[in-house]
Structure 1
């Protein structure tokens, strides 16, 4: 399914972007405290290139390594990270959906046609490296990493693109299928201490609970500057039974390269730029935040587990990868747009009547969904709403779902507002649910972690849903529309 060759590490991907004229080096000094945020956001809003800051400074002093940002600041670069052209993201999504639930084989010809699927499955087996590049050198402590302080109200330096690697208590270091890789922000609170902010529904938090029940210290590794397939796999809302580490092989089109960590019983990406290793001890927490977040607000400070660093390994001349999270558009919202198209075939496989689904980036990517269905029976819109809310943990944070008919473009606000205005009655077509899971960062919720859900049925009402004859939609004859276009071809330019 790949249109591009595999990118074994971040450097290979940057070389590709450079060859496309999509990577710019900034030679002037840029301060990691607040100033870098302004540069990154302006580049993203202008759909500009990925940036490499060669003279980054920390508190006015030269950083010890270059800083890379805006890596996935355009849809084209996210698609490239997935290995496909932008118009082929849907095809990749269909391929991944088929991998999850393959149809029975119908003869030898059909079996041979599925070789790409077999090759993708084989790519999930990781390859062990005896001399991993990421362990070529060691850093003294966290102060040697030019960690960004993004927003003026932030509590301290924040690692924003960490791939946090955990496994459950009782497992073995080589049981990769049990691993969880998540992108959780990490606050630096000392030269050898990091706060890991994983929310209760995330895989890292579930692993942490298993170690805390056993009252044993938990090994954790934080990989910085991973290859694009691993970065995007860690950010994807995959099912809990799917390991991001092994899944990255499918996206990469090549096996993940791993190595035993230097000081903790975990496997780590062999070609990451930097790996921070350490232990989370029972009861060791610290107040994390406040930090500016994807909602456009600063979150409140809350206690989260602390990682006591035991080692920091790195490649020679490492790169530090960073990003900025804020009110959309930001890099996570751009990634979310592409993930929307990538996930659609999987959603349709589970809810067949769904024809399209749009998560508006301005609604913080997943707080609102507009769904187009092929409606066949009364109550179908409500069934689709409930199916979506229960499908993936990420959808449990979708506070509003609008369902429209198949004659409406769900990505066109004019179409959606027309459907809401003419096909939805507030007394009949609103479904309100209370006491459901919600992101702690949603200050509109009356209780932390719990909030309501709103479903809006903007479909044409049929059968027992109405007692009135429904109006007919006005449309022109297609032949007349074509004739109009012909007559106006020289007039409308």
Structure 2
């Protein structure tokens, strides 16, 4: 389904952005403490281009030599491009990926041959191991390791210090071999810099990195970790996608990148790393050592609480001869995670519809942190169907278990239009009948509105037309103009008021 060229590295994607006029160089000095994130936020809010800051300045006023790239996925069009398609083709890619996850049996030889693109995509998940690695052109070990040489930003005034915001953290379970790529987890976990060779990794208990850490803890052994800074767009987006636990993000990145991932052995830890990355941090996470992480500005628009998380001891920094440092910020939407989530919403719809066929459309409002509220349009055919859809969504993916509110509407309502939603709520919903409240359900640990950490309620609102036993009154009939009259109005406007015709 890919219609754009392969992007095996961050640089190849930046070249694509530059050719499209979507890359701007900032030559004047910009401080990595607060100033850079303020510029990024202003540009993202205006739908602006990728930014490359060529003169980052440390908090001491020193000029840093490593350029900083931000706003990589600051528009939905660039997120789609990172997936290898145009924005209009995201739905088709979603259908292709849904079939890739659960392909129906072929109906004859012609149907089997037509699935060559699917086979090619599956082969793209098999990595190539070994060979020349640009990411290891420079290797710093021991006393040469210095996180202060990297332009790690301090993003918000209340932040505890420098924070790595686009790290792809690679881990593997204790029982696996270093070359068993299918067992790897790649997660985006923020990393706080607390020394020249020490980081705090914030991974929540349900995430893959935390599960791998527990497997090493049971053995009483430290865990090897590699942090990729500046990976390919396929790797970045794979690490952010809600993939099934049995699918390795590192392998799946080949499907999105359009080429087989190239991996090489890390220099100081038993783990494989992407050959074409910009920077890799290698090290070990102790089975017991923790440090207080935070506070930091979060995607909720608030600072999170200070809590203990595992510490990583860095044993090596490897990078290209002229590395680029990729960064972003998180905060109240809009931010890059919200924009990525908007595209992922379209990408996931075919998979959701494969399990819940009556769903016609679904919207996760970015302003609601991209996952805490969902509006679902369904083809309603029987009483109680809206509640069944709510329960099915809450139980379908771990991400939906953190959705606090689901509003179900009919398929004549645009779920991404607040005016349509308000009309459906005002005319098709009765609070005493159509609101379902659940207690003590799993919730995002970062949601401080929850009565207990990780445990809270959920609300489902049925804003659909009511059928049969759902109401004892005659239900209203939606008003609509006759199609012929609407066509006449359009033709008349085209002649006399063409500026009103879009």
TM-score range, shorter chain: over 0.9
Q: CA deviation at 1:131?
A: 2.3
Which whole-Å deviations, capped at 9, do the CAs of 1:116-148 have from their partners, x for residues lacking one? 001001001000123211111024321111101
Aligned counterparts, 1:317-336, within 5 A = 317-336=322-341
| Partner Cα distance (1:330, 1:410) in 2 | 22
Gaps of 5+ in 1: none
Q: CA deviation at 1:492?
A: 5.6
| Partner Cα distance (2:122, 2:167) in 1 | 26
Aligned counterparts, 1:88-107, within 5 A = 88-107=89-108
Which whole-Å deviations, capped at 9, do the CAs of 1:63-111 have from their partners, x for residues lacking one? 1300000000001111110010110000000000010111111111111
Q: Given the alignment, which residue of 141, 144, 148 partners 1:143?
A: 148
| Partner Cα distance (2:228, 2:109) in 1 | 43
Following TM superposition, the consecutive aligned residue runs of length 4 or more in structure 1 with deviations greater than 6 angstroms are none
Which whole-Å deviations, capped at 9, do the CAs of 1:28-53 have from their partners, x for residues lacking one? 00000000011000110111110000
SS at match of 1:435: strand
| Partner Cα distance (2:124, 2:4) in 1 | 16
Q: Which residue of 1 aligns with 2:8?
A: 8
SS at match of 2:432: coil
SS at match of 2:79: helix
| Partner Cα distance (2:200, 2:408) in 1 | 40
Which whole-Å deviations, capped at 9, do the CAs of 1:271-313 have from their partners, x for residues lacking one? 1101001111121100110000000000000001011111111
Confirm or deny that 1:474 pairs with 2:475. Answer: no
| Partner Cα distance (2:498, 2:443) in 1 | 49
| Partner Cα distance (1:84, 1:487) in 2 | 39
Q: Which residue of 2 aligns with 1:272?
A: 277
| Partner Cα distance (1:412, 1:384) in 2 | 20
| Partner Cα distance (1:77, 1:344) in 2 | 19
Q: Which residue of 2 aligns with 1:127?
A: 128
Aligned counterparts, 1:171-210, within 5 A = 171-210=176-215
Gaps of 5+ in 2: none
Q: CA deviation at 1:152?
A: 0.3
Q: CA deviation at 1:455?
A: 0.5
Confirm or deny that 1:491 pairs with 2:492. Answer: no
Contact 2:378–2:409, Cα closer than 8 Å, also in 1: yes
| Partner Cα distance (1:426, 1:208) in 2 | 45
Contact 2:55–2:65, Cα closer than 8 Å, also in 1: no
TM-score, scaled relative to structure 2: 0.97
Q: CA deviation at 1:244?
A: 0.4
Aligned positions, number: 493
Q: CA deviation at 1:439?
A: 1.6
Q: CA deviation at 1:325?
A: 0.4
